[in-house]
Structure 1
Amino acid sequence: MRDEWDAVVLAGGRGSRLGGVDKAAVRIGGRTLLEHALDAVRGAGRVVVVGPEKDVPGVLWTREDPPGGGPAAGVAAGLRHVRADVVVVLAVDQPGVTASTVERLLATGAPAVLVDEDGRSQWLAGAWRTDRLRTALPDDPHGVSMRSVLGPLDPVPVVALPGEARDVDTPADLGG
């Protein structure tokens, strides 16, 4: 595992499929989705959260400009504050991703992406070389798909353990 790495946690978005709620504040298992994500990246040298600022100490907050530009724009905003050679990118809506998941992603040497049980890359759960990620992002990342940015970086697939690739997009996803 890398000794020095930073993390970008994407905690913005409209949560429209959840009725417009703030996903970061949604509680699962007695903790917010943001708490789950921050626990997963607790080994980072610096944690940058991209989204509406909350009263959470120990993280650096930022937003894409303008807000609502999608995950690639969020990653670009977060990368402005990353100093380490390796960065873990994680969406706030993946409560199954743990510190152990992040360790497995980092163990590949980066780039690496979590792959679900159906073989789909989970582009918002990965470890990346910071310089290569910065270069891969277009000048205007608003509305750009993560697959188009990250796919060409040829990441090592890290197969998800049961429940790791679960994400929370709809009210049905809140049940477990």
Structure 2
Amino acid sequence: MDFSGVVLAGGTAVRMDGVDKASVELDGRTLLAHAIEAFLDADDVVVVAPTRVSTDRPVTFACEDPPRGGPVAGLLAGLDALPRRPRLLGVLAVDMPRVTATTMRRLREAAPGRDGAFLHDGDGRRQLAGVIDTARLADVRPGPEEQHGMSLRRLLAPLDLAEVPTDGDEAVDVDSWDDLRDLRPPPS
């Protein structure tokens, strides 16, 4: 298949009192379990986070150096931690629990002939869920001193990326306790 995934789980969760978002539960499973499941079709999965936890699926854990360097530093640390470089690399923020393996398949189907594909919400905003051709990523890869704090928008700006509209609530992310509450079904 030549597809691997990187789950970005190293954020600071300021609006959630600094809790480790990866360990937050939704629908009886952690946000990390949801994110790993989105890479059901991936050959390998790297979780970029400052801490390691047990997972149902074997994954590799990595951390950017220094930790909490933002999505670009995390993405590149995840890529470098893979046992072999895939042709196509998926990336997903741990706080997007409605992104599924079907979502990742749609992104991969939109990528041929382009440098990759990313989800875009109803307002046209790029979400932190996408796939990137690793050869093209190597072409735009910044040096180590530039990666920390670099925005993903800036990294991806030179790339030709397909815009894949979200389906349902795929673009919902859990940035606050209210967001998490809104994703849970009402009590019966």
Asked if the contact 1:76/1:134 (under 8 Å) is kept, the reply is no
Equivalence for 1:173: 179
1:28 deviates by: 1.0
In structure 2, which of residues 78, 90, 99 is the aligned counterpart of residue 88 of structure 1?
90
Which ranges of structure 1 fall in alignment gaps of 5 or more residues? Answer: none
1:79 deviates by: 1.0
Equivalence for 1:53: 52
1:128 deviates by: 0.5
Aligned length in residues: 173
Q: Find runs of 4+ consecutive structure 1 residues off by over 6 angstroms.
A: none
Equivalence for 1:111: 116
Once the two structures are overlaid, the 10-residue window that deviates more, 148-157 or 158-167, is 148-157
CA deviations over 1:79-98 (Å, ceiling 9, x no partner): 10332110001110001100
1:68 deviates by: 1.2
Could you tell me which amino acid in structure 2 is paired with residue 55 of structure 1?
S
Equivalence for 2:153: 147
TM-score, normalising length from structure 2?
0.89
Once the two structures are overlaid, the 10-residue window that deviates more, 89-98 or 109-118, is 109-118
The DSSP-based 3-state class of the residue aligned with 1:6 is strand
Equivalence for 1:18: 16
Distance across 1 between alignment mates of 2:72 and 2:139: 13
Q: Which has the larger radius of gyration?
A: 2
1:135 deviates by: 2.6
Distance across 2 between alignment mates of 1:44 and 1:22: 24
Equivalence for 1:73: 73
Asked if the contact 1:89/1:127 (under 8 Å) is kept, the reply is yes
Asked if the contact 1:42/1:99 (under 8 Å) is kept, the reply is yes
Equivalence for 2:186: none
* Percent identical residues: 47
Once the two structures are overlaid, the 10-residue window that deviates more, 49-58 or 139-148, is 49-58
Distance across 2 between alignment mates of 1:163 and 1:153: 26
- The CA RMSD measured in Å over matched residues stands at 1.1
Could you tell me which amino acid in structure 1 is paired with residue 65 of structure 2?
D
Matches for 1:117-136 after TM superposition, within 5 Å = 117-122=122-127, 124-136=128-140
Which ranges of structure 2 fall in alignment gaps of 5 or more residues? Answer: 184-188
Once the two structures are overlaid, the 10-residue window that deviates more, 74-83 or 41-50, is 74-83
TM-score, normalising length from structure 1?
0.94
Equivalence for 1:7: 5
Could you tell me which amino acid in structure 2 is paired with residue 63 of structure 1?
C
Asked if the contact 1:79/1:134 (under 8 Å) is kept, the reply is no
Distance across 1 between alignment mates of 2:92 and 2:167: 16
